[in-house]
Amino acid sequence: MVLKTTVTATDVDEAYLRIKDVVKETPLQYDHYLSQKYNCNVYLKREDLQWVRSFKLRGAYNAISVLDTQAKSKGITCASAGNHAQGVAYTAKALNLKAVIFMPVTTPLQKVNQVKFFGAENVEIVLTGDTFDDCLKEALVYTDEHHMTFIDPFNNVYTIAGQGTLAKEILLEAKKEKIQFDYLFAAIGGGGLISGVSTYMHEHSPHTQIIGVEPAGASSMYESVVVQNKVVTLEHIDKFVDGASVARVGDITFNIVKQYVNDYLQIDEGAVCSTILDMYSKQAIVAEPAGALSVSALEFYKDNIIRKTVVCVVSGGNNDINRMKEIEERSLLYEEMKHYFILNFPQRPGALKEFVNDVLGPQDDITKFEYLKKASQNTGTVIIGIQLNNHQDLEQLKHNVDEFDPSNIYINENKMLYSLLI
């Protein structure tokens, strides 16, 4: 079979017919909390409620179902940070195909276990490499050696067309409810989702502005399209937003995004964490970091969307509960509520009481107090963590700490020290 190198809205329509009896038509929900917060009408496309808790099932099933009999008989492979893997596993089980799935060793255990659950005896899992791009290389070598078919998570028009079916669902529901969307926000990793969605929206809702949202630590599409006008490979990426942390976007997705995406946002990983916590506490939505990207974008686009109608694609809900402590920590750091210092602490009775009285505000809290070493009988080097009641008190806190120990080190501003000590 000759693989196509372009995708059209017609391809999305064909994919919709191909997958509609397998994929769940997820809700398009009006969100009262976000609408009130941003003085606009916010709808959420709830792909976190998909069978595999992400949109990836759409593209995986579509790309696999079009393979000929010979290709299916030899088996399929894929590389994935977790969600595409679940889509491939689900499809392999449904179509009774052999699948070998490559995932980074850093993939959250929750996603690995879900792949095992959906694929059962049809799937073999190989954990290799620290990033998606590392495991991709291994997967391609294995695919070639075993004459199998590689199911690309984004750089394949059938994958892209499958992802675009959620845009068709959005517009079908919008037509029924007589809604017109001014903006659509969606995450960008390798570009499969935004390519499929923007292709379909450009044809059927051209007035809708398409806003692509990337994690600041892995903004490979922005760097490729806006900065360098060619596909580039990022040397270093922050892997926290694992579902969207891709060092190199696809050639096909790059060309589509250049045509149809209107703007790009790069969201700090800490802001994403704040959104995850907000969505959970206010809306009872469990979003993974990549799934929360589109909602995070509203804060940075709030002046543009006043009294407008917008839709955010909540692209996934595969969040490992064991990550919540890290998510809370990153959020507090981003919101400037949690601060760490190294300082020389007097070794005498009453020193801690003096620190609490002279340095902390009445509602501030010490969250960490650890001796690195006692340098002498008079002083000891201490790591101290302080959580503020109000982030606006930071400058006063720094002033008070300087008064207590002029030689203190503010760890928040030193990523290496933070990673080493905290």
Residues 6 or more apart whose CB falls under 8 angstroms from that of 161 comprise 7, 11, 12, 14, 15, 59, 62, 196
Q: Which amino acid type is present at position 255?
A: N
Instruction: Please give the tally of structural domains in the chain.
Output: 3
Residues 6 or more apart whose CB falls under 8 angstroms from that of 118 comprise 52, 86, 89, 90, 93
Residue 250 is assigned to a structural domain of this protein: yes
What is residue 236's predicted lDDT score, i.e. its pLDDT? Answer: 92
Q: What are the Cα distances from residue 380, in Å, to 17, 166, 392, 400?
A: 69, 59, 30, 19
What is residue 90's predicted lDDT score, i.e. its pLDDT? Answer: 97
Residues 6 or more apart whose CB falls under 8 angstroms from that of 131 comprise 104, 106, 237, 239, 245, 247
Considering the domain architecture, whether residues 177 and 292 belong to the same structural domain is answered as yes
Count of CB atoms situated within 10 Å of the CB of 404: 18
Q: What is the layout of strands, in order, in the sheet containing 76-79?
A: 123-127, 99-103, 76-79, 149-150
Do the beta carbons of residue 386 and residue 367 sit within 8 Å? yes
Final residue before a domain boundary, out of 273, 300, 327: 327
Residue 68 is assigned to a structural domain of this protein: no
What is residue 376's predicted lDDT score, i.e. its pLDDT? Answer: 64
pTM for the full predicted model: 0.93
What is residue 422's predicted lDDT score, i.e. its pLDDT? Answer: 84
Residue 66 is assigned to a structural domain of this protein: no
Residue 89 is assigned to a structural domain of this protein: yes
Considering the domain architecture, whether residues 136 and 208 belong to the same structural domain is answered as no
Considering the domain architecture, whether residues 307 and 353 belong to the same structural domain is answered as no
Considering the domain architecture, whether residues 348 and 412 belong to the same structural domain is answered as yes
CB burial of residue 78 (10 Å; 0-12, 13-18, 19+): buried
Final residue before a domain boundary, out of 100, 121, 147: 147
Sheet strands (E) in 195-349: 209-215, 263-267, 309-314, 338-346
Tell me which residue of 254, 247, 203, 207 sits closest to 226, measured CA to CA: 254
Considering the domain architecture, whether residues 360 and 221 belong to the same structural domain is answered as no
Residue 64 is assigned to a structural domain of this protein: no
Helix (H, G, I), strand (E, B) or coil at 4: coil
Residue 63 is assigned to a structural domain of this protein: no
Final residue before a domain boundary, out of 327, 353, 368: 327
What is residue 1's predicted lDDT score, i.e. its pLDDT? Answer: 46
Considering the domain architecture, whether residues 215 and 305 belong to the same structural domain is answered as yes
Considering the domain architecture, whether residues 88 and 119 belong to the same structural domain is answered as yes
Residue 14 is assigned to a structural domain of this protein: yes
Domain at 254, CATH number: 3.40.50.1100
Helix (H, G, I), strand (E, B) or coil at 151: coil
Do the beta carbons of residue 13 and residue 168 sit within 8 Å? yes
Considering the domain architecture, whether residues 206 and 259 belong to the same structural domain is answered as yes
Strands 76-79 and 99-103, bridge-based pairing? parallel
CA 12 vs. chain centroid, Å, equals: 24
Residue 61 is assigned to a structural domain of this protein: no
What is residue 155's predicted lDDT score, i.e. its pLDDT? Answer: 95
Considering the domain architecture, whether residues 227 and 254 belong to the same structural domain is answered as yes
Considering the domain architecture, whether residues 137 and 204 belong to the same structural domain is answered as no
Considering the domain architecture, whether residues 228 and 298 belong to the same structural domain is answered as yes
Distance CA 155, CA 147 (A): 19
Dig out the tokens for 356 from the structure: 């609490």
Domain at 347, CATH number: 3.30.70.260
**Residue-by-residue pLDDT tens, the chain, 422 positions:** 445 778 999 999 999 999 999 999 999 999 999 999 999 999 999 999 999 999 999 999 999 999 999 999 999 999 998 899 999 999 999 999 999 999 999 888 888 999 999 999 999 999 999 888 889 999 999 999 999 999 999 999 999 999 999 999 999 999 999 999 999 999 999 999 999 999 999 999 999 999 999 999 999 999 999 999 999 999 999 989 988 999 999 999 999 999 999 999 999 999 999 999 999 999 999 999 999 999 999 999 999 999 999 999 999 999 888 889 999 999 999 999 999 999 999 888 888 899 999 999 999 999 999 988 765 667 889 999 999 999 999 999 999 999 999 999 999 999 899 988 88
Distance CA 7, CA 253 (A): 10
Print the domain residue range for 135. 76-147
Considering the domain architecture, whether residues 120 and 181 belong to the same structural domain is answered as no
What is residue 122's predicted lDDT score, i.e. its pLDDT? Answer: 96
What is residue 374's predicted lDDT score, i.e. its pLDDT? Answer: 66
